[in-house]
Chain A
């Protein structure tokens, strides 16, 4: 693949959902010419490997706000982009097994209510109605938001890609960004790629699981850690569970896709690094199966159809990096989404585009500014409702 131009106004590194949505917002703002680079294939990274969950139940109000905006965007997606993303708002049900976990969910409810979302705390009878066949004594209670849901991730990518290409935005898969160049005053003036150097003043790091690695290759120490998370899908069945079900204690989550497959994962000792390797481990598959059958014994005879893995791009405080890097003006972060990039992509990347254009965003710098890790001491806030 050969790049068309020698210079671009903005180069977006990463052609996943964050990169494509960022390019979309930039293009709408007239900030071309834009180049999107990706070293792999479309949907080869996290955007093509996630379970499609879209939720608005979070501990931090800013994240709830972003998620709420994202839900509205995904509802509009079929008419805006001509692609049916099967965004099914079947709700998200969090299960608590202890009083402490219930308290935590109550705080989530309060935060969501303050943002205008009616999260409800449910008792066991309500939960038994939502999850038919759940084992007695599985939980003490839970929280539920009916407008959360799941979507089919690929058509989101196809819709964005086709829209951008129709409008002449250059998107190059199979071209790797390997670093940035600086002029003699130390300012960013180009990006190095597997197809040579291209001049630009702005580089957006939306490289997902590879974002930390890319920052470091550009000489910027980064807090991002990539971890490998696994997931599996069962044989398709007629619908029997409406919401995405998430257990707080061990991060077990599952939902039933539009095709009828039960898709889910669970927190295990996630292996760091982004080496491809073989996708699945016996430890995950067997412990996930045990957790699922433990919760829903009737599923014992159902077959697991396939298992795979993807990468979370984690940060120490569980919040993403959105905005310009104070050490290198022109280098804009859109990463650190901790496995929840798809949930926040439409709204978070709008802020990324604003940062590229030098506009101020409504984001609290204490929560999202990439420079927050440069100061000594822990971040003042954190988002710990990252599961799976």
Chain B
């Protein structure tokens, strides 16, 4: 749908929730709020993840008369440093109900679903399996193949349509593949109402038609991979600033001159893909020899050890301003797109939902699940394979090792899952410490879903509300539709720098299910099936 809406232009589909700032496609993997549209009367549909059908009624959201020219965009101009909803809007006391009425009108994102959208959802899909693999990316497919070789028949759950997976090279025959489904909740027996030996895990989710999905399985393997992180700078929420995931998603967007931010393998992939457009490669640290070689072949200039200070433009990006981290001055690069490919983070939320312990990894500066060398997590019956399990240099278990463990091979002796990390650093902490010393001319939007500014997080710390949980409650960071996947990793690094403590002391936010917004109709349709199970 996003490709259809773009048609050679950068689509402008909505304005942001608080200040009505322009929003554009950002993540390309169905997580952010950059491409939400109203489809057939249902709000907040992610265009990048939706197949367009003839006769679909697609409307823009949260803008009038249109996202390109939105009257309420004046709010962004009227409150250049943001609006303090905790201490402001309370004087004079008699006006409070009036403030509330106005604020309430402006709050929210889409209009409620139309009455005509109320259809009985399709019957739910209810399946049982011995082994369920979440994700049919490379690791998921390789694991499925390894299990097949050992005579098992795993059920593979995948967000993309089955046809998209079937066209990939390593697809294996005999694997039970369920495409076009999104897994949103993982309940392990240990985390459910009653603990029972041998009880099944439950995966709850939905399919692309809004039908419910319930899978009961003895063993779950997460092959959910990783995603490109966001980055905070002034105007980092401007349309044209995107992640490497979007750049590699082939959605037919008009890239124009592109600045790639990142110094490693992911940035190299982006450079290869967008080669005709890339005008510069900048990175927060060093640039890998492979990337440097790829850039040199095409005469692309390199800017290692740089920080992105701000984006410039009215609406869409027209240029970015960078600064050398080793003390050099600021400089500008004209561009129409900025691709963030500087660090990849694990899609590990389902393990944490099931109660798995987190382990901090300095590189890339993120929490990973606690996984042993055979892919076992510390939640019985939950495994992980591929880049969700370990950072690239962390020696992720191979699909063969995981397959053997899934089918009952004993855990290797003498190597219990590593204890939760007690690390002292994270590579983004000094980066943000330097960045936050830059003068601010406009809004620094830390959380684009809820329009939370980094200034608000700084105020929270200054008032004594320390740590991520209190910071989240004080500012709303992490409470938006992306479930904090883009803002919380940055918030951890920023808070660690502000408070002068190692990241694990900043704390974490409890993983509140579901992983992605799950339609009420799909959940409702599962009520009977869930109620039948003991202990659910």
Partner of B202, one of A79, A162, A282: A282
**Which residues from 261 to 318 on chain A have a C-beta closer than 8 Å to any C-beta of chain B?**
271, 277-283, 285-287, 289-290, 292-294, 297-308
Assess whether B469 is in contact with A41, with CB atoms less than 8 Å apart. Answer: yes
**Residue of B86, B91, B111, B526 with most chain A CB atoms under a 10 A cut-off:** B86
B85-113 interface bits toward A, Cβ cutoff 8 Å, 1 = contact, 0 = none: 11111110100110010011101111111
Partner of B119, one of A158, A277, A282, A300: A300
Partner of B530, one of A86, A279, A282: A282
Least distance between A276 CB and chain B CB atoms (Å): 9
- Complex CA gap A42/B465 in Å reads 9
- Return B383 CB to nearest CB of chain A, in Å: 18
Given contacts A277-B355, A299-B521, 19 further A-B contacts (CB under 8 A): A41-B470, A48-B473, A162-B463, A237-B111, A286-B531, A287-B527, A289-B521, A293-B524, A300-B118, A300-B121, A303-B516, A303-B520, A304-B514, A304-B517, A304-B519, A304-B520, A305-B517, A306-B483, A307-B513
- Cross-chain pairs A/B with CB under 8 angstroms, 24 sampled: A42-B470, A82-B87, A84-B88, A154-B473, A158-B474, A235-B481, A237-B111, A238-B107, A238-B110, A239-B105, A259-B108, A278-B191, A278-B355, A279-B513, A280-B185, A280-B512, A282-B185, A282-B530, A283-B536, A286-B523, A300-B119, A300-B121, A303-B44, A306-B514
Q: Report B-chain residues with C-beta under 8 Å of the C-beta of A88.
A: 100, 104
Contact of B113 among A280, A292, A302, A304 (CB under 8 A): A302
Closest approach, in angstroms, between the C-beta of A47 and any C-beta of chain B?
Answer: 11
B282 within 8 A of A: no
Report the nearest A residue to B466, measured CB to CB: A41
B510/A289 in contact, CB under 8 A: no
Whether B192 pairs with A307 at a CB distance below 8 angstroms is no
The 8 Å CB contact of A158, one of B86, B91, B93, is B86
Set B109, B191, B463: member contacting A237, Cβ < 8 A: B109
Query: Cβ of B523 and Cβ of A289 under 8 Å apart?
Result: yes
CA distance A88 to B100 in the complex (A): 7
Number of residues of chain B lying within 8 A (CB) of chain A: 71
Closest chain A residue to B115, Cβ basis: A298
Q: Which of A69-83 contact B (CB under 8 A)?
A: 78-79, 82-83
Contact assessment for B483 and A79 in the assembled complex, using a CB-CB cutoff below 8 Å: no
Q: Is the CB of A298 within 8 A of B520?
A: no
B43 at the interface (CB under 8 A from A): yes
- B465: chain A residues at CB < 8 Å are 42, 158
CB distance from A222 to the nearest CB of B (A): 25
Residue of B93, B204, B526, B536 touching A79 (CB-CB under 8 A): B93
Tell me whether B118 and A289 are in contact (CB under 8 A).
no
CB–CB B105/A238 < 8 A? yes
Expressed in whole angstroms, the minimum distance between the Cβ of B127 and any Cβ of chain A is: 15
A260, B113: Cβ atoms under 8 Å? Answer: no
Give the top 9 A-B pairs by smallest Cβ distance, nearest first: A303-B517, A260-B108, A300-B521, A289-B523, A301-B42, A278-B191, A78-B90, A297-B118, A290-B524
Q: Is the CB of A280 within 8 A of B193?
A: no
Docked-complex contact B115 and A306, CB < 8 angstroms: no
Interface 1/0s, chain A 237-270, versus B by CB < 8 A? 1111000000000000000001110000000000
The secondary-structure label for the interface of chain A is mixed
- Identify the closest chain B residue to A276 (Cβ): B510
Interface residues of B in 470-484 (CB under 8 A from A): 470, 473-474, 479, 481, 483
Residues of A contacting B514 in the complex (Cβ-Cβ under 8 angstroms): 304-307
CB contact list, B162-194 vs A, under 8 A? 185, 187, 191-193
| B90 surroundings in chain A (CB, below 8 A) | 78-79, 82-84
- Distance in Å: Cβ of B447 to nearest Cβ of chain A: 13
- Of the candidates A78, A89, A260, A293, the one whose C-beta lies within 8 Å of that of B93 is A78
State A57–B215 Cα separation when bound (angstroms): 43
Q: Give, as a whole number of angstroms, the nearest-CB distance from A86 to chain B.
A: 7
- Binary interface profile of B, 206-225, with partner A (CB < 8 Å = 1, else 0)? 00001000000000000000
Say yes or no for B518: interface residue by CB 8 A criterion. Answer: yes
Binary contact readout A37-52 vs B (1 if CB under 8 angstroms, 0 otherwise): 0000111100010000
Is B108 in contact with A236, judged by CB distance below 8 angstroms?
Answer: yes
Using known A-B contacts A84-B88, A260-B109, A301-B117, determine if residue A289 contacts B192 with beta carbons closer than 8 Å.
no
B353 sits at the interface (CB 8 A): yes
Contacts of B239 in A (CB 8 A): none
B415 interfacial by beta-carbon distance below 8 Å: no
Q: Which residues of A contact B109 (CB under 8 A)?
A: 235-238, 260
